[in-house]
Amino acid sequence: MSEKDAFNRRARQTAFMAVALVAALIFGIILLIGGDWIPGGIIVAATVIGLAARVPVIWKLCGQASVSSESKPNT
């Protein structure tokens, strides 16, 4: 697998995970608003922790993308 393919796979996987976690966070907030404190709190806490764990990966991928786009010549 080439470096570009590995980067694309990792970026796609991280994007899907982030979207899923944001959807779960919204669902947890809806549960909290509806009065289901325990399941809503657990879902919100778990998704916040999951998103916090993904932030360094996102920063790393964004840094790699900007470096790789700067090194390409304009043709």
pLDDT tens digits, 2-38: 888 888 888 888 889 999 999 999 999 999 999 999 9
In a domain, 24, yes or no: yes
Listed in sequence order, the residues at least 6 apart from 21 whose beta carbon sits closer than 8 Å to its beta carbon are: 47, 50, 51, 54
- Examine residue 73 and state whether it is found in any structural domain, yes or no: no
Residue 44 structural domain: 3-67
1 vs 34, higher pLDDT = 34
Q: Which residue has the higher pLDDT, 55 or 49?
A: 49
What's residue 42's pLDDT? 95
pLDDT score at 46: 95
* Residue of 68 and 58 predicted with greater confidence: 58
User: H-type helices in 2-36, by residue range?
Assistant: 3-34
Q: How far apart are CA 31 and CA 43, in angstroms?
A: 9
Which distant-in-sequence residues (6+ apart) come within 8 Å of 65 by Cβ? 7, 11
For the chain, what is the domain count? 1
Tell me if 69 sits within 8 A of 29, measured CB to CB.
no
pTM for the full predicted model: 0.73
